[in-house]
Amino acid sequence: MLRIIISLLFIFTFTVIDLSACTTAIVSGKYTDDGRPILWKHRDSDFYQNKLMYFTDGKYDYIGLVNSEDFIGEQVWGGTNSTGFSIMNAALYDVNLDYNGDYKDREGYVMKMALQQCATLEDFEKFLNDLPKPMGVAANFGVIDANGGAAYYETDNNTFVKFDANDPHVAPNGYLIRTNHAFTGKKDEGFGYIRYENAHDLFSNAFATNKLNYQTVITDFSRSFYHSLLKTDYRDNTDNYSEKQHFINAGDLIVRNSSVSDVIVHGVKSGESPEFTTMWTVLGYPFTTVAVPVWIKGGEKLPKMMMAEKSGNAPLCKMALELKKHCYPIERGSGYKYLNISALINKENSGILQKIEPVEQKIFEETENKLSDWRINLLKKDQIQEYYKWLNAFVINEYKSILEN
């Protein structure tokens, strides 16, 4: 009996760890093709329903990614505030190993408090120093600000270590990647080593070809089919997939069954108003959803598809998860590991991802046109609200068509 209990605990523990594992990166504006920094969080969680919320409960207004069941937004899992300060996290599993207390899993609360009161990296460092110890966290916190700051803070219960993306000795190519192991933690006790290498190869290639920008992060990294250990990019094999089911084990890809959202913050250049900080959110299963931009200047009325409706869930997230069912049709046993890649990409060009990519490309084009105008004529709340209405109608109509077919 004892052996059975131990086995069940082992399975439960590693299931939770797998579901709470994220792939993240920060990029200094000195190395992007437009001079603006990037913050990226690819979120894995057992909270599949996510939404956006706008908050006015702190020193600064802010927008945050929130679990849908968190009705009042007690915790935030990535976001940006009115000063351009933006934050996200990746859980660590190789720190606090000697801690036996119950005060833990406070990352969402800490990020909410940081968005409420921090404007710069220096503010965040003081905030961490001033928090009562133990802090109840085990995380890589990634932060960018409107002053060009971009850094990770590898944080445990009592202290933190800063890794500065602007320091060429720390980040020779201007970017840092983090998954679920610490660079100062106990060797080989963490997780996400293959995902780290996946992201490393993707970033290295983008840097070498001068394609390190927010669109590349969204389209190529957040939806990558690349496996570094196998040296295989499954998307290169699209001509081998017909509309008939074709399965791959996606457990070590960046996008997995447990992937629930992405936050990509496109920051501002030196001297540019923090109002132009753009938070792109990929809400729902990344292979079946599109990225949508929001700005603090737009106010509390975010696009309706990104906010909770009466059910408590966001419409875009619900639609994305409905499409996800085609990707994981095997529900028993270990079926959750096996992705039906033909549902996403195939030689007939009828895959879900192949249908939504033109939708997202249209959003990129429209957003760039808007930003080009706004950077000359200033950002105005009513114009953002009009754009939100167009985005909402456009995306909902496109998804209705995809769901019906």
Domain ranges of the chain: 19-404
- pLDDT score for 185: 77
pLDDT of the residue at 138: 96
- Residue range 328-387, pLDDT digits in tens: 999 999 999 999 999 999 999 999 999 999 999 999 999 999 999 999 999 999 999 999
In angstroms, what CA-CA distances link 357 with 166, 204, 220, 257, 364?
33, 24, 11, 20, 10
Q: Are 283 and 290 in contact (CB under 8 A)?
A: no
How far apart CA 70 and CA 51 sit, in angstroms, is 10
pLDDT at position 379: 95
Residue length of the chain: 405
Which residues of the chain are under the pLDDT cut of 50?
A: 1-18
User: What pLDDT, on the 0 to 100 scale, is given for residue 191?
Assistant: 87
Strand order in the sheet with 278-283: 175-178, 23-27, 38-44, 259-266, 278-283, 291-294
What CATH superfamily classification does 19-404 receive? Answer: Penicillin V Acylase; Chain A (3.60.60.10)
Q: What is the DSSP string of 37-69?
A: -EEEEEEE-S---EEEEEE-SSSS-EEEEEETT
Name residues whose C-beta falls within 8 Å of residue 260's C-beta, 6 or more positions apart in sequence: 43, 44, 45, 47, 48, 50, 284, 285
For residue 230, what are the contacts with CB-CB under 8 A and spacing of at least 6? none
pLDDT of residue 19: 53
Query: What pLDDT does 8 receive?
Result: 37
pLDDT in tens, 265-308: 999 998 899 999 999 999 999 999 999 999 999 999 999 999 99
Q: How far is the C-alpha of 401 from the C-alpha of 362, rounded, in Å?
A: 16
Q: Give the whole-angstrom CA distance, residue 231 versus residue 229.
A: 5
The whole-model pTM stands at 0.94
Amino acid found at 223: R
